[in-house]
Amino acid sequence: MKRSRSSRLAFAPLLLGSTVHLAHAEEINLAPIDVNAETSIEQQAREKSATLGPMGQRRLQDTPYSISVMSRDLIDSQQLKSFKDIIRYLPSVQADGARPQTRGLQGSVVQNSRLDGLNVVSTTDYPAEQLGGVEVLSGLSGSLYGPANPAGTFNLLSKRPTDFTRNRVTVGVGTGLSWLKAVDLSGPFDPEGKIKYRLNLADEQGHSYAPGSTLRRQLVSLATDFQLSDDSVIETNLSHYNYLAKGLPGKFAVASGVTLPHAPDPTRSNLGQNYAGDNNTTDTASAHFKHDFDGNWKLDAGVLRQIADRESTAVTNTLTNNSGAYRTSVSSATASRFTINSYLINLNGGVYTGPIHHDLTFGLTGFDWDNYNPVAGGTQTLGSATLSDPANFTEPDYPDFTDRYHSANAKQRSIIVGDTLAFTPQWSVMLSGSQSRLTADNYTLAGAHTSSEDSGISTASSLLYKPVDDLTLYLTYADSLQQGDSAAAGSSNAGSILAPYRSRMWELGGKWVVSGVNLSLAAFQIKRPFAYTQADNVYAVAGQQRNRGLEFLADGNLTQNLKMYGGITWLDPKLLSTGNASTENTRIVGLSRVTASLLTEYSIDQVPGLAVNLNARYVGPRPTDDSNDHWVGSYETFDVGASYSTRLMKRDTVYRLEMTNVGNQHYWTNIVPGGLNGYTGAGQASASPGAPRMLQASIQVDI
């Protein structure tokens, strides 16, 4: 029996600080919630879908993987500014690092990240103003996307043109007096709507939370749809984005035997240097041709070109004793340019063989990725200081980041075949496989050249059972070839791409739609080779990582007024087969046993247009060395906010106010083996101070 509206709303005080996603004032429904409204909520949950690689759009209920969909509504309501901000709402994401990760596994520079299905660089910045949403498939998906780390697949979705004219302006101000101006213009060019556009412009400049810091974000993005016929469309995307952030706290590394202290106040002066940080410019162009042959068979062909230029001058403070003394250095040897050409061709449709229905998929995907490093790049020591008295050091001479040498090239091509066989309405099997070819070429500054080539098959097999319409149980096994990692900056083989290796995954899960909420529970085990910078300063494979865990997700509307997004992940990440008794069967550096996050959003009927929200996040204790001799404690943060939708001078207007880390918790984030990023020797860790309490306010007007 369904709960009555009154019994459901009785739970509202327990979720104080929740908002529904924002709507125009005229869309606010003040009428009592009736059965039809509740049915609509449940139907929306049932029909929620995501892109499953070359298989195209699939209902979440019909996918044998744990998949999260971050909607544009959530991005707007939380005033999120970047892709990194967005994925922090995933309970399985444990770090705020450059490379995205789920389930305790860090993604690669290219293989795990996509823009509208096409490979892009993950270690650059993507503004939220450009995105219509993000889809995240946790775990191993090489059979669908080609070889990749078992860290999940992150598919960024570009904003698409609207069928109607809409001109939206947003202005805002944030902590440190960073001023935001953004416009989102969309609609048809012609009366028939054959050509449509979406232009996004954003400019944010000012300071961040640290004294003396500088922040700049500038975006120009244009998306167009050319409707060639009722069945064919060409979609294009062009974007230019510059992100500059300097003066923020540097990373902290630890020397052998040193423990990370309690995290410092990130607003203290000189934890970073006001001239040091990131200055990244990313230019991306892509196009898709989509054709519907007969309402059944569909074609999608796409190409992408991206150039990501980076001037990375961020400092690292290496703690040399347990009294807070540290040595500050800066590395300018990391890649200063990535270029990537990626492509895909997908064809899918359904056929019957007797009583069995087949959803068939044929795909081709791949990329050509080049790394360029500064000729004069290197590591420089700036000086020494203590946590009790951080110092400001003289700016060093940085190299010319545009004077580069070609350090590496990686090519990857995969042919993909898939079939979903529906035997009965209850039982089905999903099979997918990719045949891939990978090549890697590495070049030293002196001109030495090494290369490797490999090929192999990645497969996945899933059994799905639906005992009732709204419940799906599944079992999945996946086995994937994986491109070797890039050797970290600071290692003797920096920039080299290791030979490919293989990962394996088992996943047992269930998905259930209950009262308008998508619930997902998955148990998994993932095994993969583990590489890091070793004692001889060579970056190489030195063991196996085995992650076992449980992942629970909840996403949807409990009522017309109440929405939730979040979950909890229990993880058992182990380092095995190291050949060293001190590191055998130990916890992987920087990974918590338990992480959890929950965003609740609640609209208040008594004040039409008013909505409030609360986001809570917890991360448990984490080891900081491979032998697990040193740890950092757990932390929890809370964010609160409110919005008010109304009409102002006949214009739809939304006021938003958001405060993150309300308790001003000081904590360490992005704890990784130091050698992974080239900061310290084998087994030691680097970490970053988490952001302090911050405030963001904005006004959005449709003109």
pLDDT for residue 101: 84
Does 527 have pLDDT greater than 90?
Answer: yes
Q: What is the mean pLDDT of residues 238-242?
A: 98
Does 14 have pLDDT greater than 90?
Answer: no
Contact of 363 with 141, CB cutoff 8 Å? no
User: What is the DSSP code string of 242-303?
Assistant: EEEEESS--EEEE-TT----SPP-TTSTTSS-TT-EEEEEEEEEEEEEEEESSSS-EEEEEE
> For 605-661, what is the HEC assignment?
CCCCCEEEEEEEEEECCEECCCCCCCEECCEEEEEEEEEEEEEECCEEEEEEEEEEC
- 505, two tokens: 């995954």
Q: What is the CA radius of gyration of the chain?
A: 25
Tell me the whole-structure pTM to 2 decimals: 0.90
Q: What is the mean pLDDT of residues 497-506?
A: 84
Q: Where are the domains of the chain?
A: 5-702
Backbone angles phi, psi at 6, to 5 degrees: -65, -40
Does 506 have pLDDT greater than 60?
Answer: yes
Q: Which of 394, 426, 408 has its CA nearest to residue 484?
A: 408
Does 3 have pLDDT greater than 70?
Answer: no
Does 25 have pLDDT greater than 50?
Answer: no
Task: Indicate the pLDDT class of residue 466, thresholds 50, 70 and 90.
Answer: very high
Q: H helices of 30-141, where? A: 35-47, 72-77, 83-87
pLDDT above 90 as % of the chain: 69
Task: Indicate the pLDDT class of residue 370, thresholds 50, 70 and 90.
Answer: very high
Contact of 564 with 522, CB cutoff 8 Å? no
For tokens 């003066």, name the residue.
Answer: 247
Q: What is the mean pLDDT of residues 247-254?
A: 92
Does 447 have pLDDT greater than 90?
Answer: no
Mean pLDDT (the chain) is 88
Does 2 have pLDDT greater than 70?
Answer: no
- 671, two tokens: 């704890």
Hey, which of 94-98, 281-285, 666-670 has the most confident mean pLDDT?
Answer: 281-285
Does 7 have pLDDT greater than 70?
Answer: no
pLDDT for residue 33: 38
DSSP-based helix, strand, coil % in the chain, nearest 5: 5, 55, 35
Does 682 have pLDDT greater than 80?
Answer: no
pLDDT for residue 171: 97
Distance of CA 30 to the CA centre of its chain: 36
Question: pLDDT per residue over 301-359, tens digit each?
Answer: 999 999 999 999 989 999 999 999 999 999 888 899 999 999 999 999 999 999 999 99
Q: What is the CATH number of domain 5-702?
A: 2.40.170.20
- Positive or negative, the Cα torsion across 383, 386, 390, 391? negative
Does 406 have pLDDT greater than 70?
Answer: yes
C-alpha 576/C-alpha 275 separation (Å) is: 42
- Distances, alpha carbon 295 to alpha carbons 230, 247, 349, 449, 457, in Å: 11, 55, 9, 51, 32
Backbone angles phi, psi at 357, to 5 degrees: -95, 135
Question: pLDDT per residue over 196-214, tens digit each?
Answer: 999 999 999 999 999 999 9
Q: Which of 187, 213, 190 has its CA nearest to residue 198?
A: 187
pLDDT for residue 16: 33
Task: Indicate the pLDDT class of residue 493, thresholds 50, 70 and 90.
Answer: confident
pLDDT for residue 97: 66
Vertex 130: Cα angle to 364 and 82 (nearest 5):
100
DSSP 515: T
pLDDT for residue 23: 36
C-alpha 534/C-alpha 492 separation (Å) is: 10
Task: Indicate the pLDDT class of residue 440, thresholds 50, 70 and 90.
Answer: confident
